[in-house]
Amino acid sequence: MDKGSFVKDKVVLVTGAGGGIGRDFALALGAEGAKVIVNDLGTSMNGEGRDVARAQTVADEVVAAGGQAVANGDSVADWDGANNMIRQAVETYGRIDCVINNAGILRDRFFFNMSVDEWRAVIDVHLNGPFYISRAAAPHFKAQESGSYIHMVSTSGLIGNLGQANYSAAKLGLAALSKSIAMDMARFNVRSNCIAPFAWSRMIGGIATETDEQKARVARLQKMESSKIAPLAVYLASDAAKDVSGQIFAVRANEIFLMSQMRPIRSMHTAEGWTPQSVAERAMPAMRPSFYKLDRSQDVFDWDPV
């Protein structure tokens, strides 16, 4: 396809598009011919406040660059708000072709100190929100027998991270939701995929830099431009990706990874049935060499970005 027409006339909703990765998605989609609904509640990273001006600013940027876009200030964590976003897309542009679930907040805290409110706030935005948005779009996708869901997940959930039990649980749950959507909607030619981004953005700008290890990690992250994520998202929104569904990708600077999904890696059986003693004496010693360590994302991706 020619540049500027990869998603020509596709109507795409991008949540959390008032800055960072979401803004890059909106600009890239607009440049490639899409009609973009730029959603952003305008909150702080911990979910406080509200200001639709951020969404309007990005929509104006898309239009100034020659694209088409409108702003939306509804909350993804609200069922009515989710339906309003889809309704606005259909009323403004006549249809909805793609949903990118990108909106996010952080309430980082070690598990043993995490409050119920901190847990619920993050689950609402990162897991309930994508369900609400995706479910609101589903009848339209079914009726037109086409559509694409793109969900932003995280290696904090796929691999692990400290102090993010709420975020990690939501993001791994979102990966499972994406797979279920892909399976349930396949008969209607609707796709669902995930992207785990590595990029310096407002959402991770508050990472501590007190130790040498933390400083080195932040220095690596700052090399990863958020705009590097957008090409994969544009591709997944396009008809060129019609046979790509149920996958989990990661993007880190100029690297694209296809992430593994849960599969058995070792098995043991016994004709007599297991007892606690035989589990201890036979099963665990055989499986122990294949145990996963308590790795964090940076332990697995321990080389400099390309």
**Beta-sheet pairing, 248-252 with 255-258:** antiparallel
CATH level 3 topology of 11-258:
Rossmann fold (3.40.50)
d(CA 242, CA 111): 40
- CB atoms under 10 Å from CB of 259, counted, come to 16
> How many other CB atoms are there within 10 angstroms of residue 205's CB atom?
12
Both structure tokens of 56: 């309007």
Task: Give this prediction's pTM.
Answer: 0.92
Whether the pLDDT of residue 212 is over 70: the answer is yes
Q: What percent of the chain has pLDDT over 90?
A: 84
Catalytic residues: 167
Residue 6, beta-bridge partner list? none
CA neighbor of 98 nearest in space, from 4, 236, 194: 236
Q: What is the rounded average pLDDT for all residues in the chain?
A: 93
Closest alpha carbon to 58 in 82, 87, 24: 24
pLDDT at 208: 56
Evaluate if residue 61 carries a pLDDT over 80: yes
Contact call for residues 223 and 253 (beta carbons, < 8 A): yes
At residue 155, the 3 state secondary structure works out as helix
- For the stretch 251-290, pLDDT in tens is 999 999 999 999 999 999 999 999 999 999 999 999 999 9
Please identify which residue in the block is written with the tokens 């959930």: 157
Report which residue type is found at 214. Answer: Q
CB 47 within 8 A of CB 13: no
What is the band of 207 on the pLDDT scale with cuts at 50, 70, 90? low
Segment 55-73 shows an average pLDDT of 98
Per-residue pLDDT tens over the stretch 2-53: 677 899 999 999 999 999 999 999 999 999 999 999 999 987 665 566 788 9
